[in-house]
Amino acid sequence: MSKPGPDRILVTGASGFIGGSLLSLLARDVHLLPRAAVRLNEADLNLPVGVERVPVGDLAADTNWMEALRRIDTIVHTAARVHIMRDDAPEPLVEFRRVNVDGTWNLARQAAESGVRRFIFISSIKVNGEGTELGKPYRADDIPAPADAYGISKHEAEQGLQQVARATGMEVVIIRPVLVYGPGVKANFHTMMRWLHKGIPLPLGVTQNRRSFVALENLLHLIVTCIQHPAAADQTFLVSDGEDLSTAELLRRTAAAMGVRARLLPVPAPVLLVAARFLGKVDLAQRLCGTLQVDIGATRELLGWAPPVSADQALRRTALHFLANLPMSLPVQP
């Protein structure tokens, strides 16, 4: 009897933080044959050696995926219209649905028609909601309660994928990450590191919240586990580092990893929230002071999985990458 050949993996979102890093990891595994679906305007995107490039259109309801799906066993779908703090779209939910729902459903239907065995969807913890009570973490089987347009679109995409799975037999795996950080992280986490590096005093020294985070390396390890693990089929997984931190702890540990001191002022959270309301920064303040915890017990038990790196290890790697890529003009705090 001949041995089964390598798994052929299609990754969407090749230019993104998660998708690009996943392709680099898959390219090093001789048992996996990664293919990147790239947009037509990404012809010059630098891909790892060994990754096949297939140009497709944008993630939309009318995109033709058939060439990209040829002989594919598994899809890891990381492409999405991502959540941003200030969305200028006149109707954000319409735009999120156009990409994250309609585009994903279209890809899934064509994938099932092409004989794809497993579809891994990178969703979001926002499907569960925006925050938890201290000590009462989200679980994968909780009733979804998305509160913003991005979370709603991810939930609707999950529902559509599950309908395709029931109708066709294609296996669907849903992963809902919390905030992802790691080497090359952008957005709010990068801004936080810049504040710390410059020595800017931050009014977050006495926050008593708890938040779950996930290192990019831990998320990628779970994705690769889900590519081949038989127990992953038709399951939803929450993922984190397995250690929850207050905002103050996160800042202190990140600063230590950068070799600087976190200058944290002891401002009580209620005072911060009042000031944020006055400045129109309520969403940011809630993220800094609020609690959002996840329980990854079911992920550990069902897959025999554990985060391979600790939060401190991941923060050190993130900090080293940040420092190595600093513009020469940026001063270091004294």
Res 276: pLDDT: 80
Q: What is the pTM of this model?
A: 0.94
Span of 60-69, 157-166, 228-237, 263-272 with lowest mean pLDDT: 263-272
In angstroms and rounded to an integer, the radius of gyration of the C-alpha atoms of the chain is: 20
Question: Helical H runs in the chain?
Answer: 17-26, 92-96, 104-113, 149-168, 187-198, 216-228, 247-258, 269-279, 282-289, 297-303, 311-324
d(CA 328, CA 306): 39
Domains of the chain by start residue, with CATH: 7-177 (3.40.50.720)
Neighbours of 232 (CB within 10 A): 24
For 224-271, what is each residue's pLDDT tens digit?
A: 999 999 999 999 999 999 999 999 999 999 999 999 999 999 998 888
What tokens does 331 get? Answer: 């001063």
Return d(Cα 320, Cα 74) in angstroms, integer: 33
Q: Are 292 and 155 in contact (CB under 8 A)?
A: no
Query: Rounded mean pLDDT of 75-101?
Result: 84
Cβ-based neighbour number of residue 77 at 10 Å: 24
181 DSSP β-pair partners: 215
Whether the pLDDT of residue 134 is over 90: the answer is yes
Band of pLDDT at residue 84, cut at 50, 70 and 90: low
Residue 142 contacts residue 108 (beta carbons within 8 Å): no
pLDDT at 179: 97
| pLDDT bracket for residue 327 (50, 70, 90) | confident
Question: CA–CA separation, 166 vs 269, rounded Å?
Answer: 46
**Residue 191 amino acid letter:** T
Residue % of the chain over a pLDDT of 90: 81
Is residue 192 scored above 60 in pLDDT?
yes
* CA nearest neighbour of 134 among 245, 292, 287: 292
The residues that are catalytic are 150
Buried-state track 90-120, b at ≥16 Cβ within 10 A, e below 16: eebbeebbbbbbbbbbbbbbbbbebebbbbb
CB 148 within 8 A of CB 87: no
What's the rounded Cα separation, in Å, for the pair 240 and 214? Answer: 4
Q: Which residue(s) pair with 55 in the sheet?
A: 38
| CB distance 164 to 145 below 8 Å | no
Place of tokens 């926002």: 126
- Tell me what percent of the residues of the chain surpass a pLDDT of 70: 94
Q: Which of 26-30, 139-143, 150-154, 325-329 comes out lowest in average pLDDT?
A: 325-329
pLDDT at 1 over 50: no
pLDDT value at residue 31: 85
**Average of per-residue pLDDT values in the chain:** 93
pLDDT at 277: 82
